[in-house]
Amino acid sequence: MKVLLGMTGSVASVLIPKLAKAFLDAGHDVQIVASEAALYFYRPEKIDKKLKRQQERDPNKLAPAKCWSEVRVWTDEDEWFRSRHVKIVRHFDRYAEQAHQKDDPVLHINLRKWADMFVVAPLSADTLAKMSVGKCDNLLTCVFRAWDFDKPVVLAPAMNSFMWSNPWTNMQMNILSNVKGPNVQGPSGGRNVHFIDPQSKVLACGDEGIGAMADISTIVDVVNGLDETQPKAD
């Protein structure tokens, strides 16, 4: 299955390499979309370096390096700054250095078409709010706004416990939980946005309470379970 993994402005973004590795180990293809705020916590170039160090320590416990070579972190720069001669995507393994042309592909649409499932983990309070009103001001939220809800979305919130317990959070989650895919069958009634609630831990701010992102194993189990019942992208 092709998993598009979104990371947003939460300290839990430091877990992205481990989560991506877990998806690769489970046999999924992975591409990553990062919001600008997520890059405050984790830079894309660190993924390869961290993987290399882990491989040197215990190569038998890691996904093959060739799988990791196909994983890229896509950012807002890839979507909007092409006119400044930033690299543009033509295929996931080939890029062209040139200004934007009329027939150039649109990245958020290409990612939407490529993926079988959109997993946003961690999902910050800010991105949750944007998604609930259809705001699309960055690459990640543009993918979500263009998403085909016949394909599942998995959201794993991570935020301070006060933000998690705020009434706005529940209202916004209810809005998204009721988004339907027109051709989705089964007891869900067409609903195809799935939340994985955060867990109780000592948070990065020092407070103890509910707000830490769910365990990686839990997220992977949910994705694998949905994979068994979902059609694949063309």
Q: Which residues are catalytic?
A: 205
Does residue 54 contact residue 62 with C-beta atoms inside 8 Å? yes
Does residue 21 contact residue 51 with C-beta atoms inside 8 Å? yes
Per the listing, tokens 């998690």 go with: 164
